């Protein structure tokens, strides 16, 4: 078991080095002089240009530059934003909880709806419910999420007026950021309506972001459940006279869950790609929106640092999922 | 009377028992999947619409009718049959823009998949055939590319190259590449252990011949399926980039770009928001349906 963990972790290291190379190369691949990019349109006199160049280490050989970069990265220094002059890592960790909160609720919604849908579709295979579940799941899987978010907004916010259009909480409330998670912070604050406001702001973005994972989870649960239900031990359980609920819930679902859990773990990347679009549409102050804005403002240090941090997060989660999988399913470990 | 009747019927029977042509088998299996057929029909209609856009479109896509800003679709209050799906904020016909957008999305999507598929095949063949250091390097790079969420990777590439349709297409090619490389390599490694490859090698086939003539055709089935599904991803990603302002630039009639400033009309013009996205959904859905059908027909092993 320990050996399995060790090999998995050691596999991550070259990938991490590759990602740092990518983010290191990013700012150097942009056409034009990085200094001029940094100072913007105003122009700069040659003396100061040379000074900045030396300051940023751009006059040193490429390998030395990379050495400096990686040392800085390992010390948690990812440079400063050109626009706000704040350290990139600080900005990231202020915004990251918002993205995590949104993604957690999206995946929660996806599991809550998708899994029962998949189980029911498998149990009632060939029924109208099965066909409609698969139809909905296919449509959800094919959904352009930015359009779906706009449609949800059009119907629930504009037409019905049930939920607010954008942001994390109504401007009426001034919630002190303690954890960075609006739901917790608003509960901690003394304002009575703050929590309701935070929840109503969260519903639509989470719904939009959760749609693709929901479709994937429903499909995966169905096929995994179908496979398990044809196993001998299910027939045995049935023959023993166990109630259908017990057979399906205890004997079936528990075994069907293993691949589903992996699939949920692998949705992290999908979820983040979706978060970029969802956050942009709902003006949700998270990491995705921050990155899109950094591209628009040509704030390359932010993009560079953000890419590295997000890749690290995705890699870590994938690693954890793999290990969890190894823990649940011993057959994987021996490979 | 010397000719025995039974012999004749036996010969007949033998002729009938000849296995049907592989293409026919494939078609029967594909056609038995109703969803896949619907997908195929929708795709044919969409392609026809894209090809014929210049003839069947009611208006030119960039013509601005200053007297008809934000006209609702024909069936809604205040709509007219002049603009079937209404007009946008500067008076352009939405139906015409969707038709020309189909031309753009389908052709660019097709090109993206072809380029990604071909380069993926070459890299995958190299990795799968020569193994060793070339395999390690290629597969490690692909792993790194897969670490970033696809849309973020595409955004990074567009940030480097600058926003335009061509650069967005290039970004999507790069994003899709790892999937084709991985698939080809896995197939090649699987196939090279088979006897027919050994036989070809023993009879003196050169490496290039082995790669492209002997092994590759037997790896094509999953690649075709992945290509179909890759097409729908390409259309989605291109539209998403257009939506974020990092793909096709206005006034190009690209579906995602058409939605990029739709947010400001969400209060008063639902049709500006609805129809371009519906077109994207339709294309993606049709290709996913067909991809599922192809997978079942071409590669029974992959059946869910």
| Separation CA B97–CA B242 (nearest Å) | 15
Helix (H, G, I), strand (E, B) or coil at A80: strand
CA distance B19 to A303: 59
Considering A77-86, B11-20, B194-203, the range whose residues carry the highest mean pLDDT is B194-203
Tell me if A276 and B152 make a contact (CB, 8 A cut-off). yes
Contact A307 B156 (CB under 8 A): yes
Report DSSP letters for A44-71, one per residue.
--HHHHHHHHHHTTTTS-HHHHHHHHHH
Q: Rounded to an integer, what distance in angstroms lies between the CA atom of residue A287 and that of residue A306?
A: 8
Q: Which residue has the higher pLDDT, A262 or B2?
A: A262
Residues of B with CB under 8 A from a CB of A: 35, 140-141, 143-144, 147-152, 155-156, 158-160, 162, 232, 236, 239-240, 243-246, 256, 259, 262-263, 266-267, 270, 273-274, 276-278, 280-281, 284-285, 288-289, 292, 304
Q: What is the mean pLDDT of chain A?
A: 84
- Between chains, do B147 and A311 touch, taking CB under 8 Å as contact? yes
Pick the residue from chain B with its C-alpha nearest to A270: B149
pLDDT at position B14 over 60: no
SS3 B261: coil
Which pLDDT band holds residue B8 (cuts at 50, 70, 90)? low
| B139-168 residue pLDDT tens | 988 988 888 888 999 998 998 888 899 999
ipTM of predicted complex: 0.86
Between CA A169 and CA A171, with CA A170 as vertex, the angle to 5 degrees is 115
Top residue of B34, B38, B149, B276 to mutate, by most chain A CBs within 10 Å, is: B149
pLDDT tens sequence across A207-229: 999 999 999 999 999 988 888 88
Place of tokens 């929840």: A199
With left for phi above 0 and alpha for psi between -120 and 50, is residue A127 left, alpha or beta? beta
Measure CB to CB from residue A15 to each of B35, B143, B232 and give the nearest one: B143
Evaluate if residue B304 carries a pLDDT over 50. Answer: no
The confidence score (pLDDT) of residue B93 equals: 87
Q: Supply the DSSP string of B48-101, one letter for each residue.
A: HHHHHHHHH-SS-TT---TT-TTPPPTTSTT--TTSTT-B-TT--BHHHHHHHH
Query: pLDDT per residue over B246-289, tens digit each?
Result: 988 888 889 999 888 777 888 788 888 889 999 999 999 999 99
For residues A286 and B81, give the distance between their C-alpha atoms in angstroms, rounded to a whole number: 44
**Nearest residue to B148 via CA among A25, A312, A335:** A312
Extents of the domains making up chain B: 44-303
Q: What is the mean pLDDT of chain B?
A: 86
Query: Chain B contacts of A152, Cβ < 8 Å?
Result: none
User: What gap in Å lies between CA A306 and CA A99, rounded to an integer?
Assistant: 13
Q: How many CA atoms lie within 13 A of B61 on its CB side?
A: 21
CA atoms within 13 A on the CB side of B31: 6
Distance of alpha carbon B184 from alpha carbon B127, whole angstroms: 9
**β-sheet bridge partners, residue B93:** B87
pLDDT (tens digit per residue) in B82-122: 788 888 888 888 898 999 999 999 999 999 999 999 999 99
Q: Rounded to whole angstroms, how far apart are CA atoms A6 and B203?
A: 45
Give the model's confidence band at A34: pLDDT under 50 very low, under 70 low, under 90 confident, else very high. low
- Evaluate if residue B5 carries a pLDDT over 70: no
pTM of the model as a whole: 0.87
Q: Mean pLDDT, to the nearest integer, of A1-26? A: 83
- In B, minimum Cα distance to A314 occurs at B147
B303 falls in which pLDDT band (50, 70, 90)?
A: very low
**In a mutagenesis test of the A interface, which of B36, B133, B151, B287 is the best target, namely the one with the most A β-carbons within 10 Å?**
B151
pLDDT at B4: 53
User: Which CATH superfamily does the domain covering B44-303 fall into?
Assistant: MetI-like (1.10.3720.10)
What residues of chain A lie within 8 A of the CB of B156, using their CB? Answer: 22, 26, 303, 307
Q: Are B152 and A273 in contact (CB under 8 A)?
A: yes
Specify whether the CB–CB gap between A218 and A119 falls below 8 A.
no
């Amino acid at each position: 078991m320990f050996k399995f963990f060790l090999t998995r972790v050691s596999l991550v290291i070259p990938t991490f080095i590759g990602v740092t190379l990518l983010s290191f190369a990013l700012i150097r691949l942009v056409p034009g002089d990085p200094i001029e990019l940094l100072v913007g349109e105003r122009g700069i006199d040659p003396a100061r240009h040379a000074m900045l160049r030396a300051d940023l280490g751009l006059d040193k050989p490429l390998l030395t530059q990379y050495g400096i970069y990686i040392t800085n990265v390992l010390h948690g220094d990812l440079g400063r934003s050109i626009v706000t002059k704040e350290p990139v890592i600080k900005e990231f960790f202020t915004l990251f909880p918002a993205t995590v909160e949104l993604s957690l609720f999206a995946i929660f919604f996806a599991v809550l709806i998708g899994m029962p849908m998949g189980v029911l579709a498998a149990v009632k295979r060939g029924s109208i419910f099965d066909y409609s579940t698969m139809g909905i799941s296919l449509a959800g899987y094919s959904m352009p999420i930015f359009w779906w978010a706009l449609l949800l907004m059009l119907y629930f916010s504009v037409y019905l007026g049930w939920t607010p259009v954008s942001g994390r909480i109504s401007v009426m409330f001034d919630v002190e950021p303690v954890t960075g998670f609006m739901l917790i912070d608003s509960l901690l604050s003394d304002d009575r309506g703050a929590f309701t406001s935070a929840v109503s702001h969260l519903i639509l973005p989470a719904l939009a972001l959760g749609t693709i994972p929901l479709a994937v989870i429903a499909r995966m649960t169905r096929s995994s459940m179908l496979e398990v239900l044809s196993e001998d031990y299910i027939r045995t359980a049935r023959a023993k006279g166990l109630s259908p609920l017990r057979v399906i819930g205890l004997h079936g679902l528990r075994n069907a869950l293993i691949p589903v859990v992996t699939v949920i773990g692998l949705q992290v990347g999908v979820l983040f790609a979706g978060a970029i679009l969802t956050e942009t549409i709902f003006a949700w102050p998270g990491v995705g929106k921050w990155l899109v804005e950094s591209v628009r403002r040509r704030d390359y240090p932010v993009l560079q640092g953000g890419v590295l941090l997000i890749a690290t997060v995705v890699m870590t989660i994938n690693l954890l999922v793999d290990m969890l999988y190894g823990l649940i399913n011993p057959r994987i470990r021996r490979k | 009377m010397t000719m025995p009747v039974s012999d004749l019927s036996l010969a007949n029977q033998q002729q009938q028992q000849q296995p049907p042509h592989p293409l026919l088998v494939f078609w029967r299996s594909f056609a038995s999947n109703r969803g896949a057929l619907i997908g195929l029909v929708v795709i044919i209609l969409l392609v026809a619409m894209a090809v014929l856009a210049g003839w069947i479109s009611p208006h030119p896509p960039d013509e601005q009718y200053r007297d008809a800003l934000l006209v609702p679709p024909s069936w809604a209050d205040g709509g007219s049959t002049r603009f079937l799906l209404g007009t946008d904020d500067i008076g352009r016909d939405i139906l015409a823009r969707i038709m020309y957008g189909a031309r753009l999305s389908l052709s660019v999507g097709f090109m993206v998949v072809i380029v990604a598929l071909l380069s993926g095949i070459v890299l995958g063949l190299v990795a799968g055939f020569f193994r060793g250091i070339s395999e390690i390097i290629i597969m490690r790079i692909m792993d790194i590319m897969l670490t970033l969420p696809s849309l973020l990777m595409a955004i990074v590439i567009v940030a480097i190259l600058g926003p335009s349709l061509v650069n967005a297409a290039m970004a999507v090619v790069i994003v899709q590449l790892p999937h084709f490389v991985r698939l080809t390599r896995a197939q090649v490694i699987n196939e090279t252990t088979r006897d027919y490859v050994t036989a070809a090698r023993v009879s003196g086939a050169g490496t290039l011949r082995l790669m492209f003539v002997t092994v590759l055709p037997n790896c094509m089935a999953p690649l075709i399926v992945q290509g179909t599904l890759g097409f729908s991803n390409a259309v989605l990603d291109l539209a998403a980039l257009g939506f974020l302002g990092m793909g096709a630039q206005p006034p190009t009639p690209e579906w995602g770009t058409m939605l990029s400033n739709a947010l400001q009309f969400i209060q008063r013009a639902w049709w500006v928001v609805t129809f371009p996205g519906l077109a994207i959904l339709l294309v993606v859905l049709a290709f996913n349906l067909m991809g599922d059908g192809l997978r079942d027909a071409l590669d029974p092993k992959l059946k869910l």
